[in-house]
Protein backbone atom coordinates (compact mmCIF):
# COMPACT_ATOMS: atom_id res chain seq x y z
CA UNK A 1 0.00 0.00 0.00
CA UNK A 2 2.87 2.39 -0.56
CA UNK A 3 4.05 4.63 -3.31
CA UNK A 4 4.99 3.57 -6.82
CA UNK A 5 5.99 -0.08 -7.34
CA UNK A 6 7.08 -0.91 -3.81
CA UNK A 7 5.53 -4.18 -2.69
CA UNK A 8 3.15 -3.81 0.23
CA UNK A 9 4.19 -5.22 3.57
CA UNK A 10 2.58 -5.35 6.98
CA UNK A 11 4.46 -2.36 8.37
CA UNK A 12 3.46 -0.13 5.49
CA UNK A 13 -0.16 -1.29 5.62
CA UNK A 14 -0.35 -0.45 9.34
CA UNK A 15 1.29 2.95 8.82
CA UNK A 16 -0.91 3.95 5.88
CA UNK A 17 -4.09 2.62 7.49
CA UNK A 18 -3.53 4.50 10.73
CA UNK A 19 -2.36 7.70 9.03
CA UNK A 20 -5.29 7.95 6.64
CA UNK A 21 -7.73 6.72 9.28
CA UNK A 22 -6.62 9.50 11.62
CA UNK A 23 -6.95 12.05 8.81
CA UNK A 24 -10.44 10.83 7.89
CA UNK A 25 -11.63 10.59 11.47
CA UNK A 26 -10.45 14.02 12.54
CA UNK A 27 -11.75 15.81 9.44
CA UNK A 28 -15.04 13.93 8.87
CA UNK A 29 -17.15 16.09 11.15
CA UNK A 30 -15.11 19.26 10.94
CA UNK A 31 -16.39 21.51 8.12
CA UNK A 32 -13.14 21.11 6.15
CA UNK A 33 -13.87 18.04 3.94
CA UNK A 34 -12.51 14.67 4.98
CA UNK A 35 -12.82 13.30 1.43
CA UNK A 36 -10.91 16.27 0.10
CA UNK A 37 -8.10 15.74 2.60
CA UNK A 38 -7.90 12.04 1.76
CA UNK A 39 -7.77 12.74 -1.99
CA UNK A 40 -4.97 15.24 -1.47
CA UNK A 41 -3.03 12.90 0.84
CA UNK A 42 -3.32 9.90 -1.50
CA UNK A 43 -2.37 12.03 -4.50
CA UNK A 44 0.56 13.83 -2.87
CA UNK A 45 1.98 10.66 -1.31
CA UNK A 46 1.26 8.66 -4.49
CA UNK A 47 -0.29 5.84 -2.52
CA UNK A 48 -1.50 2.67 -4.21
CA UNK A 49 -4.97 2.24 -2.68
CA UNK A 50 -7.76 -0.35 -2.98
CA UNK A 51 -9.87 -0.04 -6.17
CA UNK A 52 -12.88 2.21 -6.67
CA UNK A 53 -12.02 4.69 -3.92
CA UNK A 54 -13.46 2.10 -1.55
CA UNK A 55 -11.00 2.90 1.24
CA UNK A 56 -11.72 6.64 1.22
CA UNK A 57 -15.45 5.98 1.51
CA UNK A 58 -15.64 2.82 3.61
CA UNK A 59 -13.56 4.03 6.56
CA UNK A 60 -16.23 6.66 7.16
CA UNK A 61 -18.02 3.89 9.06
CA UNK A 62 -15.55 4.55 11.88
CA UNK A 63 -16.81 8.12 12.09
CA UNK A 64 -20.41 6.85 12.07
CA UNK A 65 -19.62 4.65 15.06
CA UNK A 66 -18.19 7.66 16.90
CA UNK A 67 -21.51 9.53 16.54
CA UNK A 68 -23.48 6.50 17.71
CA UNK A 69 -21.28 6.11 20.79
CA UNK A 70 -21.11 9.79 21.79
CA UNK A 71 -24.83 10.40 21.28
CA UNK A 72 -26.04 6.97 22.36
CA UNK A 73 -28.37 8.37 25.02
CA UNK A 74 -29.93 10.70 22.45
CA UNK A 75 -30.56 7.90 19.97
CA UNK A 76 -31.91 5.63 22.72
CA UNK A 77 -34.30 8.35 23.83
CA UNK A 78 -35.50 8.91 20.26
CA UNK A 79 -35.91 5.18 19.60
CA UNK A 80 -37.92 4.65 22.79
CA UNK A 81 -40.18 7.61 22.07
CA UNK A 82 -41.03 7.05 18.41
CA UNK A 83 -44.40 5.52 19.23
CA UNK A 84 -45.62 8.23 21.58
CA UNK A 85 -43.31 11.27 21.56
CA UNK A 86 -43.83 13.89 18.79
CA UNK A 87 -40.33 15.29 19.37
CA UNK A 88 -38.73 11.90 18.71
CA UNK A 89 -40.71 11.50 15.50
CA UNK A 90 -39.74 15.03 14.43
CA UNK A 91 -36.07 14.21 15.06
CA UNK A 92 -36.22 11.12 12.84
CA UNK A 93 -38.29 12.93 10.21
CA UNK A 94 -35.73 15.73 9.93
CA UNK A 95 -32.82 13.31 9.56
CA UNK A 96 -34.62 11.43 6.80
CA UNK A 97 -35.76 14.57 4.96
CA UNK A 98 -32.27 16.01 5.01
CA UNK A 99 -30.85 12.79 3.59
CA UNK A 100 -33.19 12.52 0.60
CA UNK A 101 -31.74 15.10 -1.86
CA UNK A 102 -28.10 14.03 -1.53
CA UNK A 103 -29.10 10.37 -1.49
CA UNK A 104 -31.00 10.66 -4.77
CA UNK A 105 -28.28 12.67 -6.53
CA UNK A 106 -25.52 10.50 -5.08
CA UNK A 107 -27.04 7.33 -6.51
CA UNK A 108 -27.83 8.96 -9.86
CA UNK A 109 -24.39 10.47 -10.42
CA UNK A 110 -22.21 8.12 -8.37
CA UNK A 111 -19.88 7.07 -11.19
CA UNK A 112 -19.53 10.60 -12.57
CA UNK A 113 -18.59 11.93 -9.15
CA UNK A 114 -15.88 9.30 -8.69
CA UNK A 115 -14.43 9.61 -12.19
CA UNK A 116 -14.60 13.37 -12.70
CA UNK A 117 -14.71 15.19 -9.36
CA UNK A 118 -12.12 13.21 -7.36
CA UNK A 119 -9.36 15.57 -8.45
CA UNK A 120 -7.03 17.80 -6.39
CA UNK A 121 -7.99 20.90 -8.39
CA UNK A 122 -11.67 20.35 -7.76
CA UNK A 123 -10.93 19.85 -4.07
CA UNK A 124 -8.90 23.07 -3.86
CA UNK A 125 -11.57 25.21 -5.51
CA UNK A 126 -14.30 23.66 -3.36
CA UNK A 127 -12.31 24.30 -0.19
CA UNK A 128 -11.96 27.99 -0.99
CA UNK A 129 -15.54 28.44 -2.18
CA UNK A 130 -16.98 26.61 0.83
CA UNK A 131 -14.88 28.65 3.25
CA UNK A 132 -16.11 31.93 1.77
CA UNK A 133 -19.75 30.81 1.84
CA UNK A 134 -19.37 29.66 5.45
CA UNK A 135 -18.08 33.09 6.52
CA UNK A 136 -20.95 34.80 4.73
CA UNK A 137 -23.60 32.43 6.13
CA UNK A 138 -22.48 32.94 9.71
CA UNK A 139 -22.43 36.71 9.32
CA UNK A 140 -25.87 37.06 7.74
CA UNK A 141 -27.71 34.88 10.25
CA UNK A 142 -29.51 37.40 12.43
CA UNK A 143 -32.50 35.45 13.77
CA UNK A 144 -32.28 32.00 15.36
CA UNK A 145 -35.49 30.08 14.64
CA UNK A 146 -34.50 26.58 15.76
CA UNK A 147 -32.52 25.70 18.90
CA UNK A 148 -33.07 21.93 18.86
CA UNK A 149 -33.03 19.38 16.04
CA UNK A 150 -36.63 18.43 16.91
CA UNK A 151 -37.75 22.04 16.38
CA UNK A 152 -36.56 22.25 12.77
CA UNK A 153 -39.52 22.41 10.40
CA UNK A 154 -39.92 19.88 7.55
CA UNK A 155 -39.32 22.61 4.97
CA UNK A 156 -36.15 23.76 6.70
CA UNK A 157 -34.89 20.15 6.98
CA UNK A 158 -35.45 19.63 3.26
CA UNK A 159 -33.67 22.91 2.50
CA UNK A 160 -30.68 21.77 4.56
CA UNK A 161 -30.76 18.54 2.56
CA UNK A 162 -30.60 20.57 -0.63
CA UNK A 163 -27.53 22.37 0.69
CA UNK A 164 -26.00 19.01 1.60
CA UNK A 165 -26.02 18.09 -2.10
CA UNK A 166 -23.04 20.43 -2.48
CA UNK A 167 -21.06 17.89 -0.47
CA UNK A 168 -21.14 15.55 -3.47
CA UNK A 169 -18.32 17.76 -4.73
CA UNK A 170 -15.13 16.55 -2.97
CA UNK A 171 -13.64 19.38 -0.97
CA UNK A 172 -16.94 21.08 -0.25
CA UNK A 173 -17.53 18.98 2.92
CA UNK A 174 -20.78 17.34 3.88
CA UNK A 175 -20.47 18.78 7.37
CA UNK A 176 -19.86 22.29 6.03
CA UNK A 177 -22.76 22.07 3.57
CA UNK A 178 -25.15 20.89 6.28
CA UNK A 179 -23.97 23.56 8.71
CA UNK A 180 -24.22 26.32 6.10
CA UNK A 181 -27.72 25.17 5.18
CA UNK A 182 -28.66 25.11 8.84
CA UNK A 183 -27.35 28.60 9.51
CA UNK A 184 -29.17 30.00 6.48
CA UNK A 185 -32.56 28.64 7.62
CA UNK A 186 -32.05 29.88 11.19
CA UNK A 187 -30.63 26.92 13.13
CA UNK A 188 -28.57 27.86 16.18
CA UNK A 189 -24.81 27.32 15.66
CA UNK A 190 -24.24 24.42 18.05
CA UNK A 191 -27.46 22.74 16.95
CA UNK A 192 -26.39 23.14 13.32
CA UNK A 193 -23.15 21.34 14.16
CA UNK A 194 -24.94 18.53 16.01
CA UNK A 195 -27.47 18.17 13.20
CA UNK A 196 -24.59 17.73 10.75
CA UNK A 197 -23.44 14.72 12.81
CA UNK A 198 -26.89 13.12 12.81
CA UNK A 199 -27.62 13.87 9.16
CA UNK A 200 -24.33 12.19 8.22
CA UNK A 201 -25.45 8.74 9.31
CA UNK A 202 -27.76 7.74 6.42
CA UNK A 203 -25.51 9.36 3.78
CA UNK A 204 -22.26 7.84 5.03
CA UNK A 205 -23.80 4.42 5.62
CA UNK A 206 -25.29 4.38 2.13
CA UNK A 207 -22.06 5.49 0.46
CA UNK A 208 -19.98 2.93 2.38
CA UNK A 209 -22.41 0.09 1.59
CA UNK A 210 -22.41 0.93 -2.13
CA UNK A 211 -18.62 1.11 -2.39
CA UNK A 212 -17.93 -2.03 -0.38
CA UNK A 213 -20.63 -3.95 -2.25
CA UNK A 214 -19.32 -2.94 -5.67
CA UNK A 215 -15.67 -3.60 -4.92
CA UNK A 216 -15.73 -6.47 -2.40
CA UNK A 217 -14.72 -9.03 -5.01
CA UNK A 218 -11.65 -7.02 -6.03
CA UNK A 219 -10.25 -6.51 -2.54
CA UNK A 220 -7.15 -8.41 -1.52
CA UNK A 221 -6.33 -9.58 2.01
CA UNK A 222 -4.10 -6.57 2.64
CA UNK A 223 -6.92 -4.28 1.51
CA UNK A 224 -9.16 -5.74 4.21
CA UNK A 225 -6.48 -5.16 6.83
CA UNK A 226 -6.02 -1.59 5.59
CA UNK A 227 -9.77 -0.94 5.80
CA UNK A 228 -9.99 -2.40 9.30
CA UNK A 229 -7.12 -0.31 10.65
CA UNK A 230 -8.37 2.82 8.92
CA UNK A 231 -11.88 2.36 10.29
CA UNK A 232 -10.70 1.78 13.87
CA UNK A 233 -8.38 4.79 13.79
CA UNK A 234 -11.10 6.92 12.19
CA UNK A 235 -13.41 6.05 15.10
CA UNK A 236 -10.89 7.23 17.68
CA UNK A 237 -10.06 10.50 15.95
CA UNK A 238 -13.68 11.25 15.00
CA UNK A 239 -14.58 11.05 18.68
CA UNK A 240 -11.95 13.68 19.44
CA UNK A 241 -12.99 15.85 16.49
CA UNK A 242 -16.67 15.97 17.49
CA UNK A 243 -15.80 17.25 20.96
CA UNK A 244 -13.29 19.70 19.49
CA UNK A 245 -15.79 21.12 16.99
CA UNK A 246 -18.51 21.67 19.59
CA UNK A 247 -16.04 23.40 21.91
CA UNK A 248 -14.76 25.75 19.18
CA UNK A 249 -18.24 26.54 17.87
CA UNK A 250 -19.45 27.40 21.37
CA UNK A 251 -16.60 29.89 21.83
CA UNK A 252 -15.82 31.48 18.45
CA UNK A 253 -18.10 29.99 15.80
CA UNK A 254 -17.07 28.54 12.43
CA UNK A 255 -14.65 31.29 11.39
CA UNK A 256 -11.41 29.38 12.12
CA UNK A 257 -12.52 26.46 9.96
CA UNK A 258 -13.50 28.77 7.10
CA UNK A 259 -10.14 30.53 7.20
CA UNK A 260 -8.32 27.18 7.25
CA UNK A 261 -10.29 26.03 4.20
CA UNK A 262 -9.49 29.18 2.24
CA UNK A 263 -5.81 29.05 3.17
CA UNK A 264 -5.38 25.35 2.35
CA UNK A 265 -7.28 25.60 -0.93
CA UNK A 266 -5.27 28.64 -2.00
CA UNK A 267 -1.95 26.94 -1.26
CA UNK A 268 -2.99 23.86 -3.24
CA UNK A 269 -4.06 25.96 -6.22
CA UNK A 270 -0.73 27.80 -6.17
CA UNK A 271 1.22 24.53 -5.98
CA UNK A 272 -0.81 22.92 -8.77
CA UNK A 273 -0.41 26.00 -10.96
pTM: 0.82
pLDDT band, residue 114 (cuts 50/70/90): low
Give pLDDT tens digits for 211-237.
Answer: 676 766 666 667 777 788 888 999 999
Q: What is the pLDDT of residue 50?
A: 62
Asked, for residue 4, whether it belongs to a domain, the answer is no
Task: State the pLDDT at residue 142.
Answer: 67
Nearest to 95 by CA among 166, 172, 194, 207: 194
185 lies in a domain? yes
- 139 pLDDT exceeds 90? no
In a domain, 218, yes or no: yes
Average pLDDT for residues 40-47, to the nearest whole number? 80
Confidence of residue 4 (pLDDT cuts 50, 70, 90): very low
Q: Half-sphere exposure of residue 137, counting CA atoms within 13 Å on the CB side?
A: 27
Q: For residue 203, what pLDDT band results from cuts at 50, 70 and 90?
A: confident
Instruction: Average the pLDDT over 94-103 and give the result.
Output: 90
Number of domains in the chain: 1
Q: Tell me which residue range forms the domain holding 191.
A: 10-272
Q: Does residue 51 surpass a pLDDT of 70?
A: no
Mean pLDDT of 147-159: 95
Q: Domain for residue 5, yes or no? A: no
In a domain, 117, yes or no: yes
DSSP string, the chain: --BTTPPP-HHHHHHHHHHHHHHHHHHHTTTT-HHHHHHHHHHHHTB---GGGHHHHHTHHHHHHHHHHHTHHHHHHHHHHTTT-HHHHHHHHHHHHHHHHHHHHHHHTHHHIIIII-SHHHHHHHHHHHHHHHHHHHHH-----BSSGGGS-HHHHHHHHHHHGGGGSTTT-HHHHHHHHHHHTTB-HHHHHHHHHHHHHHHHHHHHHHHHHHHGGG--HHHHHHHHHHHHHHHHHHHHHHHHHHHHHHHHTTHHHHHHHHHHHHHHHHHH-
Q: How far apart are CA 250 and CA 195, in angstroms?
A: 15
* Residue 210 domain-assigned (yes or no): yes
pLDDT at residue 102, as a whole number: 82
Amino acid sequence: MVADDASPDLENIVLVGMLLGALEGFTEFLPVSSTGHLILAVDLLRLDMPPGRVFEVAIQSGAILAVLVLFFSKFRLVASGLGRDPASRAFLRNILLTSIPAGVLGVAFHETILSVLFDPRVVAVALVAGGIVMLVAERIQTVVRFREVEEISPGAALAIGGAQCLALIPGMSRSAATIIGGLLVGVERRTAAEFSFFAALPVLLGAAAIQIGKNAGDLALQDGLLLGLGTLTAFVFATVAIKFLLAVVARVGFGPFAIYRIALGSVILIVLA
